[in-house]
A and B are shown apart, each in its own frame.
Chain A
Amino acid sequence: MGDDSKLGALRKGFLEFLVLRIVSGSTVYAADILKKLEATDFATQEGTLYPLLSRLRREGLLDYRWQESDAGPPRKYYRLTAAGRQQLAEFGAYWARLNQTIESLGS
Chain B
Amino acid sequence: MRAVVSVSLNGRAYQLEDDAHAALAEYLDAAGRALMGNPDQAEILADLEQAIADKLQRGLSPHKTVIVRGEIEQVIREMGPVDSDAGNGVPHDGVPPGGTARNGNTGSAGAQSPGTSGAAASKRLYQISDGALISGVCKGIAVYLDVDVTLVRMLFVVATILSGGLAVPVYVIMMFIVPYANTLEEHAAARGLPFNARVLVEQAKLKASQLADRAAQAAMSNHSRAARAQWKAEWRQARAQWRQEWLRGRAQWRAYRWSGAPAAPAAPAPHPSMPPLAHFISEVLGAALGLVAALVTLVWVFALLSLMTTGAVFNWMLPHLPLWAAVLGLIVLFQLVLWPLRAARHAMMPSFHGYPYPWHSLGDGLVVLLLVLFAVWYCIHHGDDLRQSVATLQQNVQPAWHQLLLAWQTLVHGTR
Contacts and interface: CB of A to CB of B under 8 A. Distances in A.
Contact of A51 (B51, B78, B87, B209): B87
A106 B83 contact: no
Contacts of A76: 47
Interface residues of B, number: 52
Nearest to A56: B89
Contact of B82 (A16, A47, A94): A47
Nearest to B40: A54
B232 interface: no
Interface stretch (B103-111, B299-307, B334-342): B103-111
Contact of B105 (A50, A57, A59): A59
Nearest to B212: A106
B44 interface: yes
A90 interface: yes
Given A48-B80, A51-B38, A54-B44, 18 more contacts: A6-B203, A10-B203, A13-B197, A31-B54, A45-B80, A46-B48, A47-B31, A47-B81, A51-B40, A51-B82, A52-B86, A52-B109, A54-B38, A54-B40, A59-B89, A72-B57, A73-B12, A97-B100
A54 B80 contact: no
Given A94-B100, A102-B212, A10 B54 contact: no
B327 to A, nearest CB: 30
A22 interface: no
Main secondary structure of the interface of A (DSSP, over half): helix
Interface string A87-107: 100100010011001110111
A9 B82 contact: no
Contacts of A94: 100, 102
A97 B108 CA distance: 22
A68 to B, nearest CB: 14
B22 to A, nearest CB: 19
B112 interface: yes
Interface string A12-38: 111110000000000000110000000
B302 to A, nearest CB: 38
27 contacts: A13-B196, A13-B200, A13-B201, A15-B109, A16-B109, A31-B54, A45-B79, A46-B51, A46-B79, A47-B31, A47-B79, A47-B80, A48-B80, A50-B82, A51-B38, A54-B44, A55-B89, A72-B53, A73-B11, A73-B53, A102-B208, A103-B212, A106-B209, A106-B212, A106-B216, A107-B212, A107-B216
B86 A10 contact: no
A44 B80 CA distance: 8
Size band of the interface chain A makes with B: 35 or more
Contact of A105 (B51, B54, B212): B212
A49 to B, nearest CB: 8
Contacts of B12: 73
Given A13-B109, A13-B197, A106-B212, A48 B43 contact: no
Interface of B: 10-12, 31, 35, 38-40, 43-44, 47-48, 50-51, 53-54, 57, 78-84, 86-89, 100, 102, 105, 107-110, 112, 184, 196-197, 200-201, 203-205, 207-209, 211-213, 215-216
A90 B205 CA distance: 18
Given A13-B197, A13-B200, A72-B57, A46 B87 contact: no
A40 interface: no
Nearest to A105: B209
**Interface-central residue, A2, A53, A76, by most chain B CB under 10 Å:** A53
Contacts of A9: 110, 112, 184, 200
Nearest to A97: B100
A98 B40 CA distance: 33
Most chain B Cβ neighbours within 10 Å, of A31, A58, A106? A106
A13 to B, nearest CB: 3
Q: Most chain-A CB neighbours within 10 Å: which of B107, B203, B208, B215?
A: B208
Contact of A48 (B38, B86, B207): B86
B208 A50 contact: no
A10 B201 contact: yes
B78 A6 contact: no
Contacts of A97: 100
A5 B213 CA distance: 22
